[in-house]
């Protein structure tokens, strides 16, 4: 089957939905089409061994011996069906009852797929509407035998169907599956360094996707390995939240002979159903910018109670975007580097590169990754590559066992200009990667040579210290009726008792028209005219902070010990790269402009105890920025003249 014809097969299957109009909402069409497609595929796969399975079942049905292993062996698959029925032999009169019996005769894992689709409810509804026979008649004639459509193209059909279902139900298709070109590229980048090892004998590899969707990454990674070594043993693992996607993934893995007990259903972040497992290769396209408020309590508990023994020890990102939680989850699944190599390929939007300042959860996560030398490569993809969004996206490649030339370094690859336009958009997907593009990006990453589209940086170059720069508080005082009135309008004024308020106003009125070039002078004068000499420290601060005006010519304010007071309103921060001495930076970049400034040495990093809070960010676009000069004024004027002429011509047509 050619790559281009899979969509016509999907379109033919989807056309069955014409029978559902009127009785089903369009958003519910997929609830019928998807499980029937799976049922027909399973039926076609089992057809060659069907009679052997039925015979063996008859022999063992009255025996106390568990029959599962025997029937799996006869079926030559990891699933089977013991019924003599098939879609073509369900009849018409008792078709609903017969179809239920047929589905119930599948092995447990296959039954689970249909239960996730609530297939029995759909059968009852179709039967009640006199549609079941017509639907079965359509599907029994669709040729989905492996000889006609192989596993790879069957995967494409599944993806096309669920995309249509997602669009029809106003969901985002991208929550369920990743475009095949992106899957292929990410898989190639993750597995490429192991090509020689994979081609050897006795190869066993594990592959994991915590957001497995319909199983695209698991399928493509398996195909990649088998292209290099058809004898390699691949064991796949995955977890998926969405029931329909989970059902399709599980069915696909079942067809391919995988142990589908390794495919789990549930929320990966709040309930890791493969806890403690470690994997060789990990691939994921987690949802972009999805908040994790629903599972916030569970995740925070794991962070505080388990620390680095759990998945989220380094820190937690803001609740509005859980992308980095999935990355930390994958890192927790890496082997100890002494036990084996683990590689990760994860697709993220732009925010994990730079969101969050020094000390924030996001920065601490980036710090953890870079200081442990786990990040190998980031590839910037073109926009409009995904079904549900056109935003900029990036592939992060991580490894716990970098080659010697890559140690202590991160490679950035700009592939934003490598794409082809689709003849017809699929949702937000307007661009795609050809095989040539995938090969070019993979070569660029593999060659590790700097160019216009490839930059290499030391890990430390992404780190900085956020130092706090203080400047002295300098206040002058010019007392006026207007100033006194403004003081009484402040919210905090209402918290002062009436008698004290009166005392303050009386004292200040005696100072109207006088000016003081320092806070100390003002406070002495204020105390001399006050009847109540025992104002609290907070009340005195309220008075001087509201009456004082900042002035560089005023005297510097000092506390009771004579220490210079910092002006919180003039407080600033400077980010100094980890490769530079902060004192040298301060002397060069700050002192010449604000000679009285100083570094607050109390603000230290929690981890290394040095002055300045450490932060990490990866300003990807900055490193590939190219200046484009603005158009000349003559060009702009010419364009405006042309637009004006066009508008005048249109107005003439309206009025003629």
User: Cα Rg for the chain, rounded, in angstroms?
Assistant: 34
How do 204-209 and 233-240 pair as beta strands? parallel
250 CB-side CA count, 13 A:
29
pLDDT of residue 55: 94
Taking Cα atoms as reference points, which of 175, 119, 144, 153 lies closest to residue 289? 175
What pLDDT score was predicted for residue 6? 66
User: Which has the closest alpha carbon to 492: 564, 542, 436?
Assistant: 542
Q: Mark whether 427 and 516 lie in a shared domain.
A: no
The b/e string for 407-416 (b: 16+ C-beta within 10 A; e otherwise) is eebbbbbbbb
User: Within this chain, do residues 185 and 247 fall inside the same structural domain, yes or no?
Assistant: yes
pLDDT lower than 50: segments of the chain: 2, 170-174
Rounded-to-integer distance, Cα 615 and Cα 102, Å: 60
Q: Are 98 and 238 members of one domain?
A: no
Tokens matching residue 577:
């790269």
Contact 361, 368 (CB under 8 A): no
The CATH number covering residue 94 comes to: 1.20.1260
Q: Last residue of some domain: 462, 487, 502?
A: 462
Is 395 found in the same domain as 489?
no
Per-residue pLDDT at 167? 58
Domain stop point among 409, 429, 462? 462
508 and 418 within one domain = no
Give per-residue pLDDT as tens, 494-508. 988 888 999 999 999
Helix (H) or strand (E) holding 624: none
Q: Which domain, by its residues, includes 431?
A: 173-462
Strands lying side by side in the sheet with 515-516: 515-516, 475-478, 549-550
Q: How many CB atoms are closer than 10 A to CB 1?
A: 15
Q: Distance between CA 142 and CA 132 in Å, rounded?
A: 16
Based on the domain organization, do 222 and 367 belong to the same domain?
Answer: yes
| 453 and 481 fall within a common domain | no
Q: Report the run of H or E that residue 577 belongs to, with start and end.
A: strand 572-577
Query: Do 235 and 88 sit in the same domain of this protein?
Result: no
- pLDDT recorded at residue 510: 94
Tokens of 639: 């364009």
- pLDDT > 70 in the chain, percent: 96
* Cα distance between residue 552 and residue 276, in whole Å: 61
Q: Give the number of other Cβ atoms within 10 Å of residue 620's Cβ.
A: 20
Number of domains in the chain: 3
State both tokens at 207: 């592959």
Does residue 643 fall inside a structural domain?
Answer: no
Collapsing DSSP to helix, strand or coil, 465 comes out as: strand
Evaluate if pTM is beyond 0.75.
yes
**Domain end among 120, 142, 168:** 168
In a domain, 470, yes or no: no
Contact 486, 546 (CB under 8 A): yes
Evaluate whether 308 touches 346 at the Cβ level (below 8 Å).
no
The H or E element spanning position 642 is helix 633-655
| Cα–Cα dist 530/15, whole Å | 90
Domain match, 334 and 366 both: yes
């Amino acid at each position: 089957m050619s790559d281009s014809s899979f969509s016509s097969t999907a379109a033919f299957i989807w056309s069955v939905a014409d029978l559902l109009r009127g009785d089903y909402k369009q958003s519910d069409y997929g609830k019928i089409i998807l499980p029937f497609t799976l049922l027909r595929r399973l039926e076609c796969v089992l057809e060659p061994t069907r009679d052997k399975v039925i015979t063996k079942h008859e022999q063992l049905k009255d025996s106390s011996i568990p029959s599962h292993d025997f029937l799996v062996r006869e079926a030559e698959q990891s699933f089977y069906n013991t019924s003599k029925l098939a879609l073509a032999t369900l009849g018409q009169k008792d078709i609903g009852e017969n179809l239920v019996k047929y589905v119930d005769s599948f092995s447990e894992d296959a039954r689970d797929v249909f239960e996730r689709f609530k297939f029995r409810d759909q059968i009852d509804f179709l039967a009640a509407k006199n549609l079941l026979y017509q639907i079965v008649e359509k599907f029994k004639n669709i040729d989905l035998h492996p000889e006609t459509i192989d596993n790879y193209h069957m995967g494409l059909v599944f993806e096309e169907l669920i995309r249509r279902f997602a669009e029809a139900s106003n969901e985002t298709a991208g929550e369920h599956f990743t475009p095949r070109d992106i899957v292929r590229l990410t898989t190639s980048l993750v597995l490429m360094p192991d090509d020689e090892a994979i081609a050897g004998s006795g190869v066993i590899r594990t592959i994991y996707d915590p957001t497995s969707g319909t199983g695209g990454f698991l399928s493509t990674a398996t195909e990649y390995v088998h292209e290099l070594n058809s004898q390699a043993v691949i064991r796949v693992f995955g977890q998926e939240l969405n029931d329909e996607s989970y059902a399709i993934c599980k069915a696909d893995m079942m067809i391919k002979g995988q142990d589908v007990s390794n495919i789990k259903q549930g929320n990966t972040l709040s309930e890791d159903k493969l806890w403690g497992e470690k994997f060789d290769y990990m691939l994921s396209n987690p949802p972009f910018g999805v908040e994790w408020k629903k599972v916030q309590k569970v995740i925070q508990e794991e962070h505080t109670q388990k620390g680095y023994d759990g998945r989220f020890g380094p820190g937690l990102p803001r609740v509005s975007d859980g992308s980095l939680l999935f990355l930390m989850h994958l890192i927790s699944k890496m082997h100890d580097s002494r036990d084996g190599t683990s590689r990760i390929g994860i697709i993220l939007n732009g925010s994990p590169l730079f969101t969050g300042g020094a000390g924030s959860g996001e920065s601490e996560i980036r710090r953890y990754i870079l200081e442990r030398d786990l990040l190998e490569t980031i590839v910037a993809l073109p926009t409009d590559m995904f079904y549900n969004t056109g935003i900029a996206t990036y592939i992060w490649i991580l490894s716990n066992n970098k080659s010697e030339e890559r140690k202590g370094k991160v490679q950035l690859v700009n592939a934003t200009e490598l794409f082809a336009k689709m003849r017809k958009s699929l949702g937000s997907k307007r661009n795609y990667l050809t095989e040539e593009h995938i090969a070019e990006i993979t070569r660029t990453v593999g060659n590790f040579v700097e160019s216009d589209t490839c930059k290499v940086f030391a890990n430390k170059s992404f780190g900085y210290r956020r130092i706090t720069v203080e400047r002295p508080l300098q206040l002058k005082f010019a007392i006026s009726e207007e100033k006194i009135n403004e003081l009484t309008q402040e919210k905090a004024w209402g918290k002062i008792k009436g008698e004290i308020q009166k005392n303050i106003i009386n004292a200040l009125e005696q100072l109207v028209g006088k000016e003081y070039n320092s806070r100390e002078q003002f406070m002495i004068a204020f105390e001399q005219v006050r009847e109540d000499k025992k104002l609290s420290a907070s009340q005195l601060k309220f008075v001087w902070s509201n009456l004082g005006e900042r002035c560089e010519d005023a005297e510097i304010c000092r506390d009771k010990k004579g220490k210079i007071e910092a002006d919180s309103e003039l407080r600033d921060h400077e980010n100094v790269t980890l490769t530079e001495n902060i004192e040298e930076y301060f002397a060069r970049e700050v002192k010449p402009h604000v000679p009285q400034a100083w570094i607050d040495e109390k603000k230290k990093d929690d981890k290394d105890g040095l002055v300045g809070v450490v932060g990490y960010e990866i300003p990807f676009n900055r490193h590939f920025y190219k200046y484009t000069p603005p158009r000349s004024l003559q060009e702009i004027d010419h364009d405006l003249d042309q637009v004006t002429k066009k508008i005048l011509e249109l107005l003439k047509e309206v009025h003629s």
